[in-house]
Chains A and B, each alone.
Chain A
Amino acid sequence: MSKGRTEALLSPLKAATEARIGMGRSGAGLPTRAGLSFALDHARAKEAVWSELDREALQESIADLGPVGLADSQISEGRAEYLRRPDLGRLLAPGAELPDASPGGICIVVADGLSAMAVKFNAAAVLRSLVPLLPGIGMDLSGIVLARQARVALGDEVAVKMRAAGVVVLIGERPGLSSADSLGAYVTWNPHAGMPNADRNCISNIRAGGLDPADAARQIAGLLRTMKRVDASGLEMKTRLTALTKADG
């Protein structure tokens, strides 16, 4: 149904957008294949949201990179509670096994967030590229902490306990229909409890077919270098950079 001129008009435009244009129709319904294909994309996204982080496998695969610790948020009843209670996902549960570190280093927290699949597929690749870059920008790795049922702000509490100068949280992003495995990186300098989100920097869409993990690692290292220079992140970093530029000019 409804092929012909509509299709002729829209087909050449499909390259202009990822939007699902020119799908055709049968009455008001989608063609069967298109309808099922949409349902499959949604099923993949749901599966990613409800997936659990295989921490042991990840821990083994990155053991050579440095000290690895484990942490949990105060979510105790699984994914359904995680989705309902973002407040508890930001709080560290007692009993975390954090690496001993000298103060002033960089702590990397790997968190499942809204897609453990994003962590499974992309976290190790980012870590492998990022960790070797730290000495080059004059920083030490305090340790890598694998956190379950965690939100971004959990990283602040971990970093405070490890007396880190900066924290990088690699976390599964909310899955979209086109990608269920996007990893986000939240970078924060001088992290502390009650840190406003405006004082973080974020790099998103890290995945195969999105931002390449090695490129993401270079961007994170670049951010850390700037943050160290102006002793701030997020909006405050921007303000201080602008002030510096003016002073130079």
Chain B
Amino acid sequence: MSYVTTLEQTRFTFPDLRALLAKASPHRSGDVLAGVAADGPVERLAAQMALADLPLSAFLSVDVLGVDGDEVSDLIAARHDAEAFRPVASLTVGEFREWLLAPETDGAAIAALKWGLTPEMVAAVSKICRVQDLIAIAAKVRVVTAFRTTIGLSGRLSTRNQPNHPTDSSRGIAASALDGLLMGSGDAVIGVNPATDTVEDYVRIVTLLDDLRQALEIPTQSCCLGHVTTAIAAMEAGAPVDLVFQSVAGSAKANAEFGVTLSLLAEATEAARALGRGTVGTNVMYFETGQGAALSANAHNGVDQQTMEARAYAVAREFDPLLVNTVVGFIGPEYLFNGKEILRAGLEDHFCGKLLGLPMGVDVCYTNHVEADPDDMDTLFVTLCSAGVNFVITVPGSDDVMLNYQSLSHHDAVFARETLGLAPAPEFEDWLNRIGLTDGAGRLQDAPPALAGHPGVAGLLEAHA
């Protein structure tokens, strides 16, 4: 079925829903590279108008990806809940936007739609939203998850402390993690991207992070972001695994490129849950995504990169994750060219994740070959905070020395606390206060004597001297 808009005697025709979604996408370099972008701003508006008039129910009868036997498409179809969908079943995409913005529509009403919405519906409505709409709607929705901390509560912002090291040196990782803790970062997770992917290094890294957590009695969780199969092997070897990490994408072919299937992810989830290491909750998975992943694996089949990204969230929500984040500025200028494209993509990803019921975080980041700088990151960070983002990633001085890109600094977490008034997770907030790293008003203090002279910290650093 084709879609048509007529603007002042010019007829714009879009042959199918896949083309309509792609042409309606706000400009980004990845869609141009894929050859699916609108030819210009007027054709884009024509597509957005046709999309706005499309009934949401139309998405239930069309397979947008159009790849037979794709297990992500099958999952999306199987999980659709007609009862949950009923409140918006008669709306067009444009009316759905208005429904989401309406003051009578509260967070509970949006959250109740979770299994009634498909990724394609959510992607569609995001394409006709301005940045302000993406913020206003997402800010209504809280998605709360828990392990040793409770993440996603109103008025709070959590951080992943990311103490990466180019050769996975134990002492280097410990030093960097400590630097972050002294700045109050790490209530979402203390998570290391390993330079290697051996089971031995994985076990060493999670043991180190667990030793640090126990020495300081920190209410948080740790993670080594190795491959899911490495995590399964480490759990079998008895390693202290809190969260299992995996990168995921929006088609079976793209997931195959990451070396994962839905059944493998289910196996990992079950294994981690069986360890029963959470104290205040049982969410054990951590997923990363990012626009462009499917295209770079040539696994998009002509679908635009933002719709493919939303489909990745259908994979993530199947496993009740503690954390999900888009690595929005990491992939490079051929997918998101500059600060403007990264800003919009970060807010779209957060919006789509929240509407699909995910505990959405964002790695606010850029590489040196995109047209972006710290000013762009400040803007994205503050807008995400106003949209109620669950967590962000922070590293020492914004410089990730292993992955060679710039994320937020631990300093930015302090800014969020002290200027925006966003507290960390309650369990972690209590710990910061108890140990004396913050005062009663949540203001960061110099390292307290209890911590500076802590025998557990000294012992750990000496053990890895």
A residues contacting B by CB (< 8 A) are 2-6, 8-10, 13-14, 16-23, 25, 27-30, 34, 38-39, 41-42, 45-46, 48-49, 83-87, 114, 174-178, 180
Contacts and interface: CB of A to CB of B under 8 A. Distances in A.
Contacts of B446: 2-6
Contacts of B273: none
Contact of B172 (A16, A38, A87, A175): A16
Contact of B415 (A16, A17, A28, A42): A28
7 contacts: A19-B164, A20-B398, A21-B396, A23-B411, A49-B368, A174-B368, A177-B404
B369 A19 contact: no
B391 to A, nearest CB: 17
A85 B33 contact: yes
Given A46-B368, A84-B337, 18 more contacts: A5-B449, A5-B452, A10-B175, A13-B171, A19-B164, A19-B172, A19-B396, A20-B399, A21-B396, A27-B418, A28-B418, A29-B411, A42-B406, A84-B29, A85-B33, A86-B33, A86-B334, A178-B399
Contacts of A48: 368
A87 B164 CA distance: 32
A197 to B, nearest CB: 11
Contact of A30 (B369, B411, B417, B457): B411
Contacts of A20: 396-399
A46 B447 CA distance: 36
B401 A17 contact: yes
A93 to B, nearest CB: 19
Contact of B333 (A18, A28, A83): A83
A71 B395 CA distance: 41
A20 to B, nearest CB: 3
B452 A19 contact: no
B369 A174 contact: yes
Contacts of A39: 374
A34 B178 contact: no
Nearest to A79: B369
Name the residue in A5, A19, A45, A175 with the highest tally of chain B Cβ atoms < 10 Å from its Cβ. Answer: A19
Given A19-B399, A174-B367, A9 B452 contact: yes
Name the residue in B171, B178, B404 with the highest tally of chain A Cβ atoms < 10 Å from its Cβ. Answer: B404
Contact of B176 (A19, A25, A34): A19
A19 B411 contact: no
Contacts of B448: 5
Interface string B409-420: 101101101110
Given A8-B452, A19-B165, A30-B397, A84 B182 contact: no
9 nearest A-B residue pairs (beta carbon): A20-B397, A28-B415, A17-B172, A13-B175, A21-B179, A45-B368, A28-B414, A176-B404, A5-B447
A34 B449 contact: no
B175 A21 contact: yes
Contacts of A27: 414, 418
B163 interface: yes
Interface in B162-177: 163-166, 169, 171-176
A74 B397 CA distance: 39
B373 interface: yes
B41 to A, nearest CB: 18
A54 to B, nearest CB: 20
B32 interface: yes
B334 A84 contact: yes
Given A2-B446, A18-B166, A84 B368 contact: no
A15 to B, nearest CB: 9
A18 B400 CA distance: 9
B88 interface: no
Name the residue in B412, B415, B444, B447 with the highest tally of chain A Cβ atoms < 10 Å from its Cβ. Answer: B447
B397 A23 contact: yes
Contacts of B178: 9-10, 13, 21
Contacts of B411: 23, 25, 28-30
Contact of B175 (A8, A17, A85): A17
